[in-house]
A and B are shown apart, each in its own frame.
Chain A
């Protein structure tokens, strides 16, 4: 039988991909929200400028205060390490990360990598290494060796910034309650409360849970960082995508 005819029936079956009306509508609502946010003036650069001034002031004061400096040299407790990671993870969008990702994607658009070898060359570019450095500088101190790379590769770190990008929504960590497992003291399951605020000042809250397993070979470093099944991470992504539905 001629190959093209032989598979026609199966190809025909493959055309029939089910898509629910609800999913179709939700995607449209999320898209509409993004489009409306794009049409409105972007006040995020002003926030960034203010944030830079605030951080510079904070650093200046910190360096003037020797006792604080000495204190910062002390190793962080497990709870402090976990909180530091959560503060970065649940404060967003991280505009610097998004800028670096845009640079990287722009480079890929301009450079046609025809095969894996050419793509490997792209991975040596400044645009790509800048992203890797940013990951390392942001989170490197908190994870044991190899763990961060694995989290990056599986999109388990900075996992909400892509969703927040151009959404007009800011996410903030409101509260963390870090629970240590009684029988397994290296396991911590923090209960995390975050807020989402849109550019009209509407605010919603979301509570979720994650899991941290501290390394046994490298004390004070995280050996595993996991979402908890049904912990609420996916729901948070949905709330970002469909903010208007939840804010009403």
Chain B
């Protein structure tokens, strides 16, 4: 497959995945570029064990991990950089509430164990199947199912935990 076509078809998905991990637009673009560069170098060895999109997500994950290792950062979903939560379709009141819910969601996710964050990101946001998630994370399918159940329970607990946020309120997004 031509590289330009590969990029056109999959770069947005790869970017979204990386962006939710690093929460920084420029770094996410850089890491997207790196992902496709590595994909180009490994194109000949791609054995179609998974779909092209899943294969790219696996590379993206490795590239992002390298980035975290270089920066010695472990935590995903950082709140340090601004992120824009657009909910323009809602009324002003609903928008504020929706933003707060979303902020609480990001905050809760950031407090979960890393493997819980990863499985939720792939299953619920990237909409990967259990098999695809297992491929990206290098886990068994049984492990994906088990982690997914526990991750959702942990998320629910964190999301509804009282006093889990500074001053009992939701951390505002800058």
Could you tell me if A14 and B102 are in contact, using CB atoms closer than 8 angstroms?
Answer: yes
Q: How far is the CA of A14 from the CA of B19 in the complex (A)?
A: 11
Interface residue range, chain B: 35 or more
Could you tell me if A17 and B16 are in contact, using CB atoms closer than 8 angstroms?
Answer: yes
Could you tell me if B4 and A28 are in contact, using CB atoms closer than 8 angstroms?
Answer: yes
Q: How far is the CA of A3 from the CA of B101 in the complex (A)?
A: 15
Residue of B nearest to A112 (CB): B138
Complex partner residue of B86 from A18, A19, A38, A166, CB under 8 angstroms: A18
Could you tell me if B12 and A7 are in contact, using CB atoms closer than 8 angstroms?
Answer: no
Could you tell me if B156 and A6 are in contact, using CB atoms closer than 8 angstroms?
Answer: yes
Residues on A with C-beta less than 8 A from B70 are 155
Interface residues of A in 1-51 (CB under 8 A from B): 3-4, 6-8, 10-11, 13-19, 23-24, 26-28, 30-32, 34-35, 38
Q: How far is the CB of A111 from chain B (nearest CB, A)?
A: 12
Interface residues of B in 151-172 (CB under 8 A from A): 152-153, 155-156, 159
B interface secondary structure, majority:
helix
Could you tell me if A14 and B29 are in contact, using CB atoms closer than 8 angstroms?
Answer: no
Q: What is the interface size of chain A, counting residues whose CB is below 8 A from a CB of the partner? A: 35
Could you tell me if A28 and B87 are in contact, using CB atoms closer than 8 angstroms?
Answer: no
Q: How far is the CA of A4 from the CA of B26 in the complex (A)?
A: 32
Q: Answer yes or no: B25 CB below 8 A from chain A CBs.
A: yes
Could you tell me if A3 and B125 are in contact, using CB atoms closer than 8 angstroms?
Answer: no
Complex partner residue of A31 from B20, B33, B85, B102, CB under 8 angstroms: B33
Residues on A with C-beta less than 8 A from B69 are 108
Beyond the given A3-B152, A26-B29, please list 8 additional residue pairs across the A-B interface where CB-CB is below 8 A.
Answer: A4-B152, A10-B101, A10-B102, A11-B125, A13-B102, A16-B86, A24-B12, A35-B37
